[in-house]
């Protein structure tokens, strides 16, 4: 009997030992443990950033992140065991690890739950990735029922919050896949995997599932608010360099200018008309036929003197960038060198090999164009060698890197099985744009610092903000729903930490508007799209089939022409505000296009609005995304039989977020937030509202960005709240600003005292204005508003020393 009793005790002890939590090991950066054959490690990269790494025991691998450039930091951590859990805390966040289940949870230091993994949420399904053992990896989380999440790159589905849907994260012509999201609870999550990935959100769970991966690897970022999350993402993956001042002006482009005389003629015509312009873009085929695709040489006889083209554009005080691709034709020098070194892929890309497929001439098919291995640093060296020799030496001002996703049509296993320098194409697919864009940025900076790198690119991945790149939304259709969907696409893209984005003004493909510029229905959508583009980081007119230059919309006195010119002028008058906002992006981790949840997180009505945004922190923008003045038949997805009707003025509903008062930009009328208002929207008006407490610097009327010094600047003050604005100025190009060669002037508005204080100027740079006039305008319904000249309350001479004025 006693023996039986001892056996029971031994059995119970063994059973309790088997059920007890396993131990854990403290590490320099956090802790690690093993739970049911899964190794789990938590690493702190800062007090606000924690990495969670899970892998199967006995599986050897090396993980070198392509996006994350920050390493873990030895910071002060507090670790304690609490029952089945071990809790490791920094000065900002606590991470709880259940030693029995492996579940990881994140809390504030006061105990507020931020994010929880689902029980048994990590999954590893063994697969063969070509000839290597790997896994389909996934991790599930449980979100609050009413929680909203944003980001994931660019999806043109019109959704602001990404709840209750499944998204396939795979780079495509209209999709930019970035596996990073942020919550309205003030945290962000970056899933560090580059293979095609499913994001799924249901009432039960929210998960990332990647096609192939050696481990579950994600970063939790606690920002407290949306700006804070963006700041953590940039700390993790890289900061944002400045673009040249001129890039914030107006750009003209089309698919395509067919000769250097045509390209130059566009710039000349803008100058003759007195319409402002700063950038012209030369699209493809200046290299000749498709066998010479992306030759990085001017082999087309219509471009006989490329140096003369660049010089003459510069003589007209404009700038020019050229289209380059991620692929090469078989008769080009780069192709031959890359092919000799086994640095080209074999899959269907653009242009296709069928001689009947646009845009190939029949005598240039099959093209044989192949994409290069941008994952290989030696291939990136070869790419830059020919780019430098053939184009950069001409003094060009930037790059249009097309097809950086890259174009990939069949998507069969044999394509994904191809070897890159790093591994299978499947394993690293989504990071391709990061590597190819990064290669050009890095090489240009190593070659010269006289010009800031400017890259216009069709695709992006996490971290691409560090490479001087502006993404555009791809070859979109010209359609009213498409226009509206650009807004949420751009905002979610920006919430991933990448601040520079735009779309083709007017849409790329105009086939739904037969007749193009002869169709007045196209005039209306182009005007409205251009108004939206005025408040995007880059204002660029572009498309195929239909020319977009302003003279194609009539002449002065015609409604479309006048509306286009009006908003181009508005873009230039706002340049001091826009450029200072770009400095806020670089210096303070801000964003240019701001979803309303960024600035009005406490207003529940603002959290899922998909057709409004803030441009900088002062201007509320509500694009008009429906036809009002041109009636057209809409049948078979085409707009025909267009008839103008300006007999009455139509209106647009605008929501003014709570927590602020708002001024109608056009009239000066002041309104309370927390309400929807109806704004009349004639064809030359888009609803714009300025937040009370804002201070807007108003630049001179110019034909190009640097035409006039801002020595006679209007300062518009919107009373009703205290406010502050930092006016940033520098040389406009080069990287001297990185060494402190710039100046800032801080303006502060004290609403109770009705006093504007201007601080001492900080810093200096060559060519800086040492003395200037500021015309102070207190905005109301009787002051000048919109583009009208304002009557200043006071004018003062500012010589860099602090001054205060009561208005």
The CATH number of whichever domain residue 179 belongs to comes to 2.60.40.1760
pLDDT at 6: 43
Whether the pLDDT of residue 173 is over 70: the answer is: yes
Residue 54 lies in a domain: yes
Mean pLDDT of 584-592: 98
- Whether 81 and 201 map to the same domain: the answer is yes
- Whether 343 and 212 map to the same domain: the answer is no
Distances (CA, A) of 692 to 16, 20, 583, 793: 65, 59, 22, 18
Asked whether the beta carbons of 754 and 777 are under 8 A apart, the reply is: no
Mean pLDDT of 148-175: 98
How are strands ordered across the β-sheet holding 593-594?
Answer: 593-594, 613-615, 619-621, 688-691, 661-664, 670-672
- Whether 443 and 354 map to the same domain: the answer is yes
| pLDDT tens figures, 466-507 | 999 999 999 999 999 999 999 999 999 999 999 999 999 999
Distances (CA, A) of 258 to 254, 283, 285, 331: 10, 9, 8, 21
CATH of the domain at 372: 3.20.20.80
Whether the pLDDT of residue 791 is over 90: the answer is: no
Q: Which residues pair with 634 in a beta bridge?
A: 639
Whether the pLDDT of residue 84 is over 50: the answer is: yes
pLDDT at 363: 52
Residue 559 lies in a domain: no
Domain boundary among 222, 237, 270: 222
Burial of 170 (0-12, 13-18, 19+ CB in 10 A): middle
- Whether 181 and 34 map to the same domain: the answer is yes
Mean pLDDT of 11-40: 74
Residue 181 lies in a domain: yes
pLDDT at 788: 75
49: closest CA among 222, 189, 227? 222
For CA atoms 134, 140, 141, 145, give the dihedral sign.
positive
- Whether 40 and 123 map to the same domain: the answer is yes
Q: How far apart are CA 322 and CA 310, in angstroms?
A: 10
User: pLDDT: is 290 or 480 the higher one?
Assistant: 480
Residue 134 lies in a domain: yes
Three-class HEC string of 409-457? CCCCHHHHCCECCCCEHHHHHHHHHHHHHHHHHHHHHHHCCCCCCCEEE
pLDDT at 16: 35
Asked whether the beta carbons of 308 and 386 are under 8 A apart, the reply is: no
Residue 754 lies in a domain: yes
Q: How confident is the model at residue 3 (pLDDT cuts 50, 70, 90)?
A: very low
Instruction: For residue 366, say if its preceding peptide bond is cis, omega within 30 degrees of 0.
Output: yes
| pLDDT tens figures, 242-267 | 999 999 999 999 999 999 999 999 99
- Whether 216 and 73 map to the same domain: the answer is yes
| pLDDT tens figures, 432-468 | 999 999 999 999 999 999 999 999 999 999 999 999 9
Domain boundary among 458, 475, 494: 458
Mean pLDDT of 393-419: 96
Asked whether the beta carbons of 461 and 431 are under 8 A apart, the reply is: yes
Q: How far apart are CA 61 and CA 429, in angstroms?
A: 19
Q: How far apart are CA 751 and CA 719, in angstroms?
A: 6
CATH of the domain at 748: 2.60.40.1180
pLDDT at 359: 52
Mean pLDDT of 37-59: 97
pLDDT at 792: 77
Q: Count the domains in the chain.
A: 3
| pLDDT tens figures, 114-157 | 999 999 999 999 999 999 999 999 999 999 999 999 999 999 99
- Whether 194 and 96 map to the same domain: the answer is yes
Whether the pLDDT of residue 612 is over 70: the answer is: yes
Residue 153 lies in a domain: yes
The helix (H) or strand (E) run that includes residue 142 is strand 132-142
Asked whether the beta carbons of 74 and 90 are under 8 A apart, the reply is: no
Q: How far apart are CA 691 and CA 771, in angstroms?
A: 29
- Whether 311 and 399 map to the same domain: the answer is yes
Residue 614 lies in a domain: no
CB within 8 A of 631, min separation 6: which ones? 642, 643, 645
| pLDDT tens figures, 313-324 | 999 999 999 999
CB within 8 A of 510, min separation 6: which ones? 478, 516, 522, 543, 544, 545, 546
- Dihedral angle of Cα 408, 412, 417, 418, to the nearest 10 degrees: -40
Three-class HEC string of 707-772? CCCCCEEEEEECCCCCEEEEEEECCCCCCHHHHCCCEEEEEEEECCCCEEEECCCEECCCCCCCCE
- Whether 57 and 153 map to the same domain: the answer is yes
Look at 291-300, 347-356, 698-707 and tell me which has the smallest mean pLDDT: 347-356
Q: How far apart are CA 437 and CA 783, in angstroms?
A: 47
Mean pLDDT of 620-633: 98
Residue 630 lies in a domain: no
Q: Active-site residue numbers?
A: 402, 405, 475
| pLDDT tens figures, 342-373 | 999 999 999 876 555 545 454 556 689 999 99
Whether the pLDDT of residue 13 is over 70: the answer is: no
Q: What are phi and psi of 334, to 5 degrees?
A: -60, -40
Domain boundary among 204, 222, 240: 222
- Whether 212 and 63 map to the same domain: the answer is yes
Q: How confident is the model at residue 18 (pLDDT cuts 50, 70, 90)?
A: very low
Domain span holding position 159: 26-185+187-222
- Whether 201 and 290 map to the same domain: the answer is no
Q: Output the average pLDDT for the chain.
A: 95
Q: Which two tokens stand for residue 524?
A: 């209306």
Q: Which two tokens stand for residue 390?
A: 């053939």
Mean pLDDT of 34-54: 98
Q: Convert 763-799 to b/e letters by CB count within 10 Å (16 or more is b).
A: eeeeebeeebebbbbbbeeebbbbeeebebbeebebe
- Whether 46 and 161 map to the same domain: the answer is yes
Asked whether the beta carbons of 108 and 114 are under 8 A apart, the reply is: yes
């Amino acid at each position: 009997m006693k023996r039986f009793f001892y056996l029971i005790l031994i059995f119970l002890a063994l059973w309790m030992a088997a059920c007890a939590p396993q131990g854990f090991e403290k590490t320099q950066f956090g802790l690690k443990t093993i739970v049911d054959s899964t190794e789990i490690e938590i690493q702190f990269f800062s007090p606000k950033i924690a990495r969670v790494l899970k892998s199967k025991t006995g599986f050897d691998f090396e993980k070198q992140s392509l996006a994350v450039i920050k390493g873990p930091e030895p910071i002060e951590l507090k670790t304690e065991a609490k029952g089945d859990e071990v809790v490791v805390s920094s000065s900002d966040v606590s991470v709880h690890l259940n030693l029995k289940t492996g579940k990881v949870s994140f809390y504030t230091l006061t105990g507020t739950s931020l994010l929880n993994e689902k029980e048994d949420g990590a999954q590893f399904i063994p697969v063969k990735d070509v000839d290597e053992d790997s896994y389909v990896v996934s991790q599930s989380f449980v979100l609050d029922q009413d929680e909203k999440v944003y980001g994931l790159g660019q999806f043109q589905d019109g959704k602001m919050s990404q709840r209750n849907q499944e998204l396939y994260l795979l780079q495509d012509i209209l999709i930019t896949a970035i596996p990073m999201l942020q919550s309205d609870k003030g945290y962000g999550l970056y899933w560090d995997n580059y293979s095609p990935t499913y994001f799924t959100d249901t009432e039960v769970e929210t998960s990332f599932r990647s096609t192939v991966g050696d481990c579950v690897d994600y970063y939790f970022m606690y920002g407290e608010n949306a700006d804070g999350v963006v700041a953590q993402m940039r700390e993790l993956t890289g900061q944002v360099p400045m673009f040249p001042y001129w890039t914030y002006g107006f750009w003209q482009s089309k698919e395509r200018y067919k000769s250097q005389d045509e390209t130059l003629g566009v710039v000349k015509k803008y100058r003759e008309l007195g319409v402002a312009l700063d950038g012209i873009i030369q699209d493809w085929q200046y290299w000749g036929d498709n066998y010479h695709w992306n030759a990085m040489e001017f082999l087309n006889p219509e471009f006989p003197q490329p140096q003369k083209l660049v010089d003459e554009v510069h003589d007209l005080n404009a700038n020019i960038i050229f289209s380059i691709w991620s692929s090469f034709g078989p008769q080009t020098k780069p192709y031959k060198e890359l092919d000799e070194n086994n640095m080209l892929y074999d899959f269907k890309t653009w242009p296709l090999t069928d001689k009947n497929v646009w845009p190939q001439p029949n005598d240039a098919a099959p093209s044989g164009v192949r994409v290069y291995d941008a994952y290989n640093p030696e291939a990136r060296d070869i790419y830059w060698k020919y780019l430098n020799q053939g184009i950069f030496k001409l003094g060009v001002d930037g790059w249009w890197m097309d097809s950086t996703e890259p174009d990939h049509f069949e998507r069969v296993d044999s394509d994904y099985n191809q070897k890159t320098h790093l591994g299978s194409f499947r394993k690293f697919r989504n990071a391709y744009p990061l590597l190819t864009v990064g290669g050009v940025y890095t090489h240009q900076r190593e070659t010269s610092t006289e010009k800031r790198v400017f890259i216009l690119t069709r695709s992006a991945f996490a971290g691409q903000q560090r490479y001087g790149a502006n993404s555009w939304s791809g070859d979109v259709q010209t359609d009213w729903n498409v226009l509206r969907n650009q807004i949420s696409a751009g905002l979610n893209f920006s919430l991933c930490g990448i601040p520079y984005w735009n779309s083709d003004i007017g849409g790329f493909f105009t086939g739904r508007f037969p007749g193009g510029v002869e169709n007045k229905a196209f005039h209306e959508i182009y005007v409205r799209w251009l108004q939206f583009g005025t408040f995007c980081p880059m204002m660029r007119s572009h498309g195929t089939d239909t020319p977009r230059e302003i003279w194609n919309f009539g002449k002065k006195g015609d409604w479309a022409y006048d509306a286009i010119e009006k908003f181009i002028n508005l873009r230039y008058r706002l340049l001091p505000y826009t450029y200072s906002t770009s400095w806020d992006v670089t210096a303070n981790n801000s964003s240019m296009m701001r979803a309303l949840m960024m600035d009005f997180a406490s207003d529940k009505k603002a959290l899922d609005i998909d057709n409004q945004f803030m441009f900088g922190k002062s201007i509320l923008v509500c694009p008009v995304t429906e036809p009002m003045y041109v009636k057209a038949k809409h049948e078979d997805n085409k707009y025909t039989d267009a008839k103008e009707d300006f007999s009455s003025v139509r209106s647009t509903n605008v929501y003014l977020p709570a927590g602020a008062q708002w001024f109608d930009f056009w009239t000066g009328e002041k309104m309370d937030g927390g309400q929807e208002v109806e704004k009349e929207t004639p064809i030359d008006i888009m609803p714009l509202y300025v937040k009370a407490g804002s201070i807007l610097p108003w630049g001179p009327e110019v034909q190009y960005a640097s035409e006039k010094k801002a020595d006679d600047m209007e300062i518009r003050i919107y009373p009703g709240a205290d406010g502050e604005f930092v006016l940033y100025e520098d040389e406009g190009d080069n990287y001297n600003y990185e060494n402190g060669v710039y100046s800032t002037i801080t303006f502060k508005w004290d609403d109770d005292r009705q006093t504007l204080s201007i601080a001492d100027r900080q810093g200096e740079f060559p060519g800086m204005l040492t003395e200037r006039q500021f015309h102070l305008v207190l905005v109301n319904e009787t002051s000048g508003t919109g583009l009208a000249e304002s009557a200043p309350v006071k004018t003062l001479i500012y010589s860099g020393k602090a001054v205060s004025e009561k208005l």
